[in-house]
């Protein structure tokens, strides 16, 4: 009888405390949301600016500046950028480099990753490190010799040097990710296949690859994005318009459209569309690639 | 059986290893070789100049300048994207509703090319129409407006800001991945023991984020050493070399002035610096594997 009021007080205290905590938490949350929203708006301004400018006519830009919302969606800049034959050539070249280089770097990386994870040999650990270290090499350290090499064998100013170099420089990340993925596959799977009389080639193609599709998707999104966005190699290895890729082409055309801001904006958007597509539809793979490649060596 | 296995192994290794050695390792060795010559990029012939290029490097004020700028670049890369990325990751990891949308907007710049990012930011710094000067005018700071990329005092900072804009998302992504691997039992236990949010962060979460930290640090330094595209597009290293980085300086000497021998010597220095980072990275990763395995 006597302890009932005590309990009631305790209960009320408790409720008050909980209510206060909930209130505090809500305030913290609101502050976080407001801060984040402001941050994100500021952070997105550059991208938004380009996007809206690409829809504005020159007259509108000179009247209202770069950063106002367009009065109407005007696709003339896109038309101008696209009708200009060079942009199409650049984009086509970018695809001609990016697709084979992405596919080949993954295919060859799979071979290395398979050997390093399933059939290690003496010194394979050291070799693995030498290859993965390539991920960290600034390309400048091989610029001069590669420039000389491709000049000597007559491939300068073609698409080949870019394909070859991107495959070679893609091997570190492809090897790392496939090796780490294959290492998680239970060895019983491979042993069973060996007992069934399968050779290593069959194990790789029929056992390993079908279960590695997520890892391959990760690599495809990563490699496509890096290669498409690359600027340095085409700058070094190409000279004529017919072999430029889009990122270098973009900078080349800038002079031609130096006052046509809208066209410049449209070209930037066009050049970013393929990687934006990947970002929107395959974001999960792309993001896990960024962290997978990173988190374990 | 063992023999056929060996054959398969050789078969698997042959093409990728040949390619890797031909395109990465052998040219690397050749860079050391060319750094001892006066090759000009056109003539097939060249002369050996011994360590002449290296003597020149250490008396070249432009090289000192590029080193200084690269060190500044690394210092910024180790603070802003690092702390900013960690901060954003901590906030966005709390399970706020709509966190995914915020995350996406923060890592959108990672998928953009530095060529495009350079273009975008040139607009922001544009003296008359650029967003930065417009904003400063709008809030009554007319005196602070300037040609950000044309002013030797601000060019480097302006280029770095554009770069940081992209790298911030990368730091955030890696720390977010690290945070998902922090077991909630540990943070809950610390909370029950009376740790407040900051103590929890300092003594439980941050130590457990060490693998991510190693990666973010290594990437920050390496990406700083690679910083070329955005410098080339925004300022070309100018004005008056005020925004030159090592990578930019190497390109200028080799492919603008055609001192390919000298450029190779610069690339050798660049490689030696990268080697330190690579050694750090692998040592740390090894140590972590020993702890976690």
Under an 8 A CB cutoff, do A248 and B115 touch?
Answer: yes
The alpha-carbon gap from B153 to the nearest alpha carbon of chain A, in Å, equals 23
User: Which one, of A222, A147, A132, lies nearest residue B23 by Cα?
Assistant: A147
Under an 8 A CB cutoff, do B270 and A138 touch?
Answer: yes
Q: Does residue A180 belong to any structural domain of this protein? A: yes
What angle (nearest 5°) sits at the alpha carbon of residue A235, between those of residues B147 and B154?
Answer: 20
Question: Between A and B, how many CB-CB pairs are < 8 A?
Answer: 254
Under an 8 A CB cutoff, do A291 and B174 touch?
Answer: yes
Q: Give the range among A127-131, A184-188, B11-15 with minimum mean pLDDT.
A: A184-188
Structure tokens at B228: 């070329």
Test the A interface: residue of B31, B116, B136, B286 with most A CBs within 10 Å: B116
A16 falls in which pLDDT band (50, 70, 90)?
A: confident
Give B115-134 pLDDT, tens digit per residue. 999 988 988 898 887 888 88
Q: Does residue A71 belong to any structural domain of this protein? A: no
Q: Does residue A136 belong to any structural domain of this protein? A: yes
A1 falls in which pLDDT band (50, 70, 90)?
A: very low
Mean pLDDT to the nearest integer, A155-177? 94
Distance, in Å, from the CA atom of A177 to the CA atom of A112, rounded to the nearest integer, reads 11
Under an 8 A CB cutoff, do A247 and B115 touch?
Answer: yes
Q: Which residues does chain A have within 8 Å of residue B111's beta carbon, measured at their own beta carbons?
A: 225, 229, 272, 275-276, 278-279, 286
Per-chain mean pLDDT for chain B: 87
Q: How far is CA A4 from CA A9, A136, A287, B122, in A?
A: 9, 70, 57, 73
Is A223 found in the same domain as A189? yes
Is A170 found in the same domain as A86? yes
Is A84 found in the same domain as A47? no
Q: Give the range among A248-252, B40-44, B158-162 with minimum mean pLDDT.
A: B40-44
Q: Does residue A63 belong to any structural domain of this protein? A: no
What angle (nearest 5°) sits at the alpha carbon of residue B184, between those of residues B178 and B185?
Answer: 135
Provide the domain count of chain A: 2
Q: Does residue A160 belong to any structural domain of this protein? A: yes
Q: Does residue A59 belong to any structural domain of this protein? A: no
Give me the residue spans of the domains in chain B. 65-292
Whether residue A233 is predicted with pLDDT greater than 90 in this model: the reply is yes
Is A101 found in the same domain as A241? yes
Is A157 found in the same domain as A15? no
Q: Does residue A91 belong to any structural domain of this protein? A: yes
Residues 6+ apart with CB under 8 A from A177: A109, A113, A215, A218, A219, A289, A292, A293
Which residues constitute the domain of residue A261? 76-295
Q: Does residue A101 belong to any structural domain of this protein? A: yes
Is A47 found in the same domain as A108? no
What is B65-292's CATH number? 1.10.3720.10
Is A253 found in the same domain as A163? yes
Other beta carbons within 10 Å of B176: 23
CATH number of the CATH domain containing A192:
1.10.3720.10
Q: With beta carbons less than 8 A apart as the criterion, state whether A52 and A74 touch.
A: no
Whether residue A4 is predicted with pLDDT greater than 70 in this model: the reply is no
pLDDT above 90 coverage of chain B, percent: 34
């Amino acid at each position: 009888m006597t302890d009932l009021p005590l309990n009631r007080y305790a209960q009320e205290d408790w409720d008050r405390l909980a209510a206060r905590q909930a209130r505090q938490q809500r305030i913290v949350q609101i502050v976080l949301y407001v801060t984040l929203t402001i941050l994100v708006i500021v952070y997105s301004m550059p991208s938004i600016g380009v996007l809206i400018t690409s829809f504005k006519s020159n007259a509108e830009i000179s009247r209202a500046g770069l950063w106002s919302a367009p009065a109407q969606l005007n696709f003339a800049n896109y038309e101008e950028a696209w009708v200009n034959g060079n942009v199409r050539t650049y984009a086509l070249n970018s695809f001609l480099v990016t697709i084979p280089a992405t596919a080949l770097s993954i295919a060859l990386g799979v071979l290395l990753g398979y050997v390093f994870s399933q059939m290690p040999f003496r010194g394979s650990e050291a070799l693995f490190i030498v290859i993965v270290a390539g991920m960290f090499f600034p390309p400048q350290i091989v610029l001069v010799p590669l420039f000389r090499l491709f000049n000597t064998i007559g491939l300068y100013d073609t698409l080949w040097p870019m394909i070859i170099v991107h495959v070679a420089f893609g091997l570190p990340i492809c090897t790392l990710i496939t090796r780490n993925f294959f290492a998680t596959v239970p060895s019983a799977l491979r042993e069973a296949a060996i007992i069934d009389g399968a050779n290593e080639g069959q194990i790789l193609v029929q056992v390993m690859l079908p279960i590695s599709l997520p890892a391959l998707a990760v690599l495809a999104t990563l490699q496509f994005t890096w290669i498409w966005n690359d600027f340095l190699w085409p700058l070094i290895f190409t000279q004529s318009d017919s072999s430029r890729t889009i990122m270098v082409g973009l900078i080349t055309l800038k002079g031609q459209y130096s006052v046509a801001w809208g066209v410049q904006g449209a070209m930037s958007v066009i050049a970013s569309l393929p990687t934006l597509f990947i970002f929107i539809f395959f974001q999960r793979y792309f993001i896990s690639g960024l962290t997978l490649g990173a988190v374990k060596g | 059986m063992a023999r056929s296995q060996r054959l398969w192994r050789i078969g698997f290794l042959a093409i990728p290893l040949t390619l890797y050695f031909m395109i990465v390792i052998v040219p690397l060795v050749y860079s050391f070789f060319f750094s001892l010559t006066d090759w000009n990029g056109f003539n097939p012939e060249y002369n050996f100049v011994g360590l002449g290029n290296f003597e020149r490097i250490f008396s070249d004020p432009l090289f000192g300048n590029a080193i200084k700028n690269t060190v500044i670049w690394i210092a910024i890369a180790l603070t802003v994207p690092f702390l900013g990325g960690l901060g954003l990751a901590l906030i966005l990891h709390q399970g706020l509703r709509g966190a995914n949308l915020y995350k996406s907007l923060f890592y959108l710049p990672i998928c953009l090319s530095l060529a495009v990012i350079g273009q975008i930011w040139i607009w922001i710094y544009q003296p008359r129409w650029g967003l930065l000067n417009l904003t400063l005018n709008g809030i009554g700071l007319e005196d602070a407006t300037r040609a950000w990329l044309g002013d030797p005092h601000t060019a480097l900072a302006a280029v770095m800001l554009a770069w940081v804009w992209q790298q911030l998302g990368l730091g955030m992504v890696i720390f977010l991945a690290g945070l998902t691997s922090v077991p909630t039992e540990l943070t809950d236990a610390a909370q029950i023991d009376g740790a407040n949010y900051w103590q929890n962060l300092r003594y439980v979460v941050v130590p457990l984020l060490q693998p991510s930290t190693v990666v973010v640090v290594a990437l920050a330094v390496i990406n700083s050493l690679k910083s070329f595209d955005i410098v080339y597009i925004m300022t070309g290293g100018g004005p008056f070399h005020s925004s030159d980085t090592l990578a930019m300086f190497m390109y200028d000497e080799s492919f603008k002035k055609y001192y390919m021998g000298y450029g190779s010597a610069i690339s050798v220095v660049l490689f030696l610096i990268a080697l330190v980072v690579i050694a750090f990275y692998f040592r740390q990763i090894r140590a972590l594997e020993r702890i976690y395995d």
